Structure 1
Amino acid sequence: MHHLRTPGLRERKKRRTRQALATAALRLFAERGYEETTIADIAAAAEVSPRTFFAYFPSKEDVIFAEIDDRLAEVRDRLARRTPGETTLEAIRQSVVNVLEALVNEHGEYGAVQVRLVLERPALQARALQRIHQTQQEVALRIRDLCPALDEIDAVIVSGIAVGAMQSVLTHCRQHGLDPGTTRAALDRALMIMESGLGAVPALNEPGR
């Protein structure tokens, strides 16, 4: 089994600060409103300076996407590695499984706040669409690196299925306030359907060297 590198103390501290800022922001957005909440408010709630906020996020808009940015980065990183003998489909599955638990539990009740903000504001919708598009492109490139025999169009299709399925299900569950257990079950179903469909692509099922 492939083991992830254990992050060092400095890296763990940076992750905690980033998480604290994101959680504080969503809580304040829920309590005060998005426009009414300032970066200074978010920094104070996370017990850091506004300067520290900008070390982690370029703008107030970007803090809304902290969680999904981090999780998608993990998917991309996992796809950059391969366990000997692992098929591309297995690598895709493992990259998704690795982030399911975090997607279900992170931010808790504020997941619905995050989704509502994005769905209500055209500027945030545009940012979300841009992130999804970039992620699908990057994942397609990583999949082709793992599986050079895969046609370029097939790689785009596979990436769209994998990223789109998880994003759509998570948005639905948070929008409707579904509990973590129901959300996890829904994501598992999406994974099962995704795997069933991708099983029809022969190149994805060839073990890597």
Structure 2
Amino acid sequence: MDHVETGLRERKKRRTRWAIASAALRLFAERGYEETTIADITAAADVSPRTFFSYFPSKEDVVFTEIDDRLAEVAERLSDRPPGEPPLETIRRCVVDVTEAIVAEHGEYGAVQVRLILERPGLQARALQRLTATQEEIEARLHELCPGIDEIDAVAAAGIAVGGMQAVVVHCRRHGYEPASMRAALDRALTIVEHGLGSLTALTAPSEGAP
């Protein structure tokens, strides 16, 4: 019963978080970023300011809701590896699952999110911080998956995987790709990423034992 209740609470939290983020992006598109206040967002999402700040430290952080959730999912999925699975296959499975989530949540506000980040230096700085932190997290996960992997190989692999997929997502949203076209573009990007990572022996060899 406790497990069920915990699951219900987590789902409710996710719904509330996404309701706030969706309301914010809609208002940013309709009114403009600077013109939209936190009070406007809370009113549109039908939550209190206290609830808003329990989910987001600031208005800027709302823009990164989906990005933060997907990056956290990548790290979590990399830790969920069947014994003996080659690290490259783990990475591929993780990226495919997250890609499907990104396409499913593409929505009409994906372009709004990208435009805000590209146009505002403050948001660009936050995006860079998140990208750097994610690459470092992936590096750490790669060292767990492949204890003997060379340090530079891990850094390069993380950069290829994170940077490559992120760049294609931004391109697709910036240019208004439809979901089917976006999925095809991400599939092509994944093939390119796999080709680059496939040159690293540490990632293609079967792992030994459980992670």
TM category (shorter chain) comes to: over 0.9
Return the offset for 1:149: 1.4
Q: Judge which range, 189-198 or 101-110, deviates more.
A: 101-110
Supply the distance in 1 between the matched residues of 2:105 and 2:79 (Cα, whole angstroms). Answer: 24
Supply the distance in 2 between the matched residues of 1:98 and 1:50 (Cα, whole angstroms). Answer: 34
Q: Deviation above 3 Å: which 4+ runs of structure 1?
A: none
Supply the distance in 1 between the matched residues of 2:41 and 2:175 (Cα, whole angstroms). Answer: 26
Match of 1:11 in 2: 10
Match of 2:78 in 1: 79
Supply the distance in 1 between the matched residues of 2:101 and 2:20 (Cα, whole angstroms). Answer: 17
Supply the distance in 1 between the matched residues of 2:161 and 2:194 (Cα, whole angstroms). Answer: 9
- The amino acid that maps onto 1:186 is A
- The amino acid that maps onto 2:198 is G
Return the offset for 1:199: 1.1
TM-score where L is the length of structure 2: 0.94
RMSD over equivalenced CA pairs, Å:
1.4
Return the offset for 1:107: 5.0
Q: Judge which range, 74-83 or 163-172, deviates more.
A: 74-83
2:56 is aligned with 1:62: no
Match of 1:28 in 2: 27
Matched residues, percent identical?
A: 70
Supply the distance in 1 between the matched residues of 2:117 and 2:173 (Cα, whole angstroms). Answer: 12
Supply the distance in 2 between the matched residues of 1:198 and 1:31 (Cα, whole angstroms). Answer: 42
The SS at the match of 2:180 is helix
**1:63-103: CA deviations, max 9, x gaps?**
00000100000000111221111111011111111111221
**1:166-197: CA deviations, max 9, x gaps?**
11000001111111111111011111111112
8 Å contact from structure 1 (residues 23, 107) kept in 2: no
Structure 1 residues without counterparts, runs of 5 or longer = none
Match of 1:181 in 2: 180
Supply the distance in 2 between the matched residues of 1:70 and 1:115 (Cα, whole angstroms). Answer: 16
TM-score where L is the length of structure 1: 0.95
The SS at the match of 1:85 is coil
- The amino acid that maps onto 1:162 is A
Supply the distance in 2 between the matched residues of 1:96 and 1:24 (Cα, whole angstroms). Answer: 28
Match of 2:160 in 1: 161
- The amino acid that maps onto 1:109 is E
Supply the distance in 1 between the matched residues of 2:45 and 2:100 (Cα, whole angstroms). Answer: 24
How many residues in Structure 1 have an aligned counterpart in Structure 2?
Answer: 205
Supply the distance in 2 between the matched residues of 1:142 and 1:94 (Cα, whole angstroms). Answer: 15
Alignment of 1:32-47 (within 5 A): 32-47=31-46
